[in-house]
Amino acid sequence: MSHRHFLIHKPYGYLSQFVGEAKKKKLGEFHDFPEGIMAIGRLDEDSEGLLLLTTDGRTSELVRSKKIEKEYYAQVDGLIDEAAVEQLRTGVEIGIHNVRYRTSPCQARRLDPAPAFAPRTRKIRDDRHGPTSWVSITLTEGKYRQVRKMTAAVGFPTLRLVRVRVGSIWLGDLAAGEVREVTGFGINEE
């Protein structure tokens, strides 16, 4: 059986799934995907960005492993400082299902200038509520709402979250809702 692979720019307000609650928006609205398609990892309903889809469970397991980096750009409330970025790098304590967890060290840096994403379908907030800034966070782990919890733990809650990279695959110029079929992901165990 020949497996099929897709990249999608998951827009804000969609679930990373194909079936579920009738009132929720799902990925199947963007393309006629083959039977057996699955999202590799997830982005919550409020998050956007690169999502890999496949009919190959083995590829899915590899991409979700701690061997593959996932990079996120987070727009945060306030002007994030170097001390907060350093805390993100070394690991912070967050709550996962009422259990305290210390995140693994990761890569983090301020983004200046801010990335040039298209405006989100739902406005984030007005400028009168104060400044915002952007930070890049690259993880190899993937706990529930981890990036949002990490930025909040250092005093800069996430307002917008976009996954821009999985391994060597970049979101690039893929527009929100756009789907691109690819021959493979080029991700190998190293």
Counting the structural domains of the chain, the total is 2
Q: Are residue 100 and residue 120 in the same domain, yes or no? A: yes
User: Which structural domain, as residue segments, surrounds residue 97?
Assistant: 70-166
For residue 188, is it within any domain? no
**Which is catalytic among the residues 32, 44, 46, 112?**
44
- Rounded distance between C-alpha atoms, residue 16 and residue 40, angstroms: 9
For residue 187, is it within any domain? no
Q: Are residue 120 and residue 109 in the same domain, yes or no? A: yes
CA 164 to chain centre: 7
For residue 189, is it within any domain? no
The dihedral region occupied by 177, where left means phi > 0, alpha psi between -120 and 50, and beta the remainder, is: left
Q: Are residue 29 and residue 97 in the same domain, yes or no? A: no
Contacts (Cβ under 8 Å, ≥6 apart) of 113 = none
When pLDDT is cut at 50, 70 and 90, the band that residue 121 belongs to is confident
Q: Are residue 172 and residue 155 in the same domain, yes or no? A: no
- Is 44 an active-site residue? yes
Q: Are residue 158 and residue 77 in the same domain, yes or no? A: yes
pLDDT digits (tens, 9 = 90+) for 149-175: 999 999 999 999 999 999 999 999 999
- Rounded distance between C-alpha atoms, residue 128 and residue 25, angstroms: 31
pLDDT digits (tens, 9 = 90+) for 43-97: 999 999 999 999 988 888 877 777 889 999 999 999 999 999 999 999 999 988 8
CATH number for the domain that contains residue 22? 3.30.70.580
